[in-house]
Amino acid sequence: MAQRGNVWSPVAIALLGWLVPGWGDWLLGQRLRGVIIFLSVVIVLLLGILIGGIRVMDPPGWGQLGFKPQIVMGVRGPEKVDPRSAEQEANLTRESRNNLGWALTEQPVAEIGNKPWSIGQVFTGPMYIASAAIAVQMARPLAANPTEPAVPPSHSRSWELGTLYTAIAGMLNLLAIIDCVFRAAQPAAEKP
């Protein structure tokens, strides 16, 4: 974190603003603004999770039951394969078993395109990473019923509203980061 007198580098401000919402403003000397941004992002994110449940944090590269979907080249092109499905496993040839790859690394654009709300959510920083990890764990089925997740996802409007709130929290933090980076890049004489 390069610091020149009282001026932080824009890259450090952007990184720290992503790690903790509002930290960029705090470092630039606007403490109240930093606290307000932090509280706003955290409250909107938590409201989204409370409205739609933890499963609104649905990261790309993970299936509905908390496992990494695999991509295999089939006769009709790439196909998603559930690694736990005995039926799909039986249909795989020896050659196609060697060509399995995680959907997120094999087709990242398509995988992220299937869950575009995660782009907004990721700007909440480590809060997204932690809550997405919890959501993936909650999606894994219990031993008693391997076809049902431990915590089912919410449906209809509650899921949509929860997802919208969490994405808006990330976009709010992105706007705060852009503002901080802009102010950190200004020469010291021009700063208000």
pLDDT digits (tens, 9 = 90+) for 21-65: 999 999 999 999 999 999 999 999 999 999 999 989 989 888 777
Same-domain status, 16 and 37? yes
Give CA angle at 173 (172, 174), nearest 5°.
Answer: 90
Same-domain status, 7 and 54? yes
Asked if residue 131 belongs to a domain, the reply is no
What are the structure tokens assigned to 9, written together? 């580098």
- The answer to whether the CB of 75 falls within 8 A of the CB of 45 is no
- The span from the CA of 74 to the CA of 8, in Å, is 52
What are the structure tokens assigned to 101, written together? 């790859």
Please report which confidence band the pLDDT of residue 4 belongs to, taking 50, 70 and 90 as the band edges. very low
Asked if residue 53 belongs to a domain, the reply is yes
pLDDT for position 113: 87
Query: pLDDT higher for 69 or 118?
Result: 118
pLDDT for position 73: 55
Phi-psi region of 155 (alpha: psi -120 to 50; beta: other; left: phi over 0): beta
Question: Which range among 1-15, 63-77, 142-156, 164-178 has the greatest average pLDDT?
Answer: 164-178
**What residues have CB less than 8 Å from 122, skipping those under 6 apart?**
128, 170
Asked if residue 14 belongs to a domain, the reply is yes
Asked if residue 135 belongs to a domain, the reply is no
- In which domain, by residue range, is 9 found? 3-59+153-190
- As for how many domains the chain has, the answer is 2
Asked if residue 65 belongs to a domain, the reply is no
